[in-house]
Structure 1
Amino acid sequence: MKMSTVVRSTTKMVSPFLVTYAAYLMIYGHLSPGGGFQGGVILAVAVILLITSHGYRKVRKRFRFNWASLVESSAGTLLVLLGMAGITFGGFYSNFLHTEGGVILPFNVLVGLEVGAAFTFVFYILLRWVESD
């Protein structure tokens, strides 16, 4: 089911700003309130808005179910590898990167991708279940 032209146009205009804000929260989460989880939820909301306003069939051509699954599993694997790499430098998730954010910056980005993909993945599963009824 498609929404009205106003809703679709507004969603097309708002979604890039949501993605930009999600990236900002993930990258600068170690300096200000926010971080990976909040950025991931906002990233998923951008995709879910497009799905609900334009219809599942049209959006799934660009945001495939397999891509959400691949991003989720890859981000989870990289999170585990990041934690294990810290063990070699003295402790689980120890700060072995000598940058401003250290390990927190890649951790926030990976958590954001994991959460965003997981919420999108769950939404796809719920839509498949609704379509089957």
Structure 2
Amino acid sequence: MKMSIVVRTTTKLVSPFLVTYAAYLMFYGYLSPGGGFQGGVILAVAVILLITSHGYKQVRKKFKFNWASLIESSAGAFLVLLGLVGLAFGAFYANFLPSEGGIIVPFNIAVGLEVGAAFTFVFYILLRWVESD
């Protein structure tokens, strides 16, 4: 089911800003409140807004179900790898990066991608179930 032209146009205009804000939260979440989880939720909201305003079938062509699954599993594997590499430096999730923020920045990015892909993945699954009725 498609929404009105106003809703579709507004969603197309707002979604890039949501993705940009989600990236900002993931990259700079260690400086202020926010971070990976909040950025991931906002990232998923951008995709879910497009799905609800343009219809599942049209958005499914651009944002594949398999891509959400691949991003989710890759981000989860990266989180485990980050913890194991930290273990090699002396402690689980040890801060082994000399930059400002250390491992918090790649950790927030991985968590954001994991959460965003997981919410999108769950929404896709729910829509498949609803469309099968």
**TM-score, structure 2 as length reference:** 1.00
Question: Structure 2 stretches of 5 or more lacking a match?
Answer: none
Partner of 1:20: 20
Please give the alpha-carbon distance, in whole angstroms, between the structure 2 residues aligned to 1:81 and 1:27: 19
Partner of 1:54: 54
Please give the alpha-carbon distance, in whole angstroms, between the structure 2 residues aligned to 1:97 and 1:4: 49
Partner of 2:106: 106
Residue deviations 1:24-82, cap 9 Å, x none?
A: 00000000110000000000000000000000000000000000000000000000000
What SS class does the counterpart of residue 61 from structure 2 fall into?
Answer: coil
Residue type at the aligned position of 1:99: S
Return structure 1 stretches of 4+ with deviation > 2 angstroms.
Answer: none
Percent of matched pairs sharing the same residue:
82
Partner of 2:72: 72
Within 5 A, what are the aligned runs for 1:38-49? Answer: 38-49=38-49
Partner of 1:81: 81
Partner of 1:93: 93
Please give the alpha-carbon distance, in whole angstroms, between the structure 2 residues aligned to 1:81 and 1:36: 17
What SS class does the counterpart of residue 66 from structure 1 fall into?
Answer: helix
Please give the alpha-carbon distance, in whole angstroms, between the structure 1 residues aligned to 2:43 and 2:73: 17
Please give the alpha-carbon distance, in whole angstroms, between the structure 1 residues aligned to 2:48 and 2:85: 34
Partner of 1:128: 128
Partner of 1:9: 9
Question: Structure 1 stretches of 5 or more lacking a match?
Answer: none
What SS class does the counterpart of residue 30 from structure 2 fall into?
Answer: coil
Residue type at the aligned position of 1:2: K
Please give the alpha-carbon distance, in whole angstroms, between the structure 2 residues aligned to 1:76 and 1:61: 25
Partner of 1:34: 34
What SS class does the counterpart of residue 34 from structure 1 fall into?
Answer: coil
Q: CA RMSD in A?
A: 0.3
How many pairs align?
133
Please give the alpha-carbon distance, in whole angstroms, between the structure 2 residues aligned to 1:27 and 1:97: 15
Please give the alpha-carbon distance, in whole angstroms, between the structure 2 residues aligned to 1:103 and 1:38: 18
Deviation at 1:102, TM superposition (A): 0.2
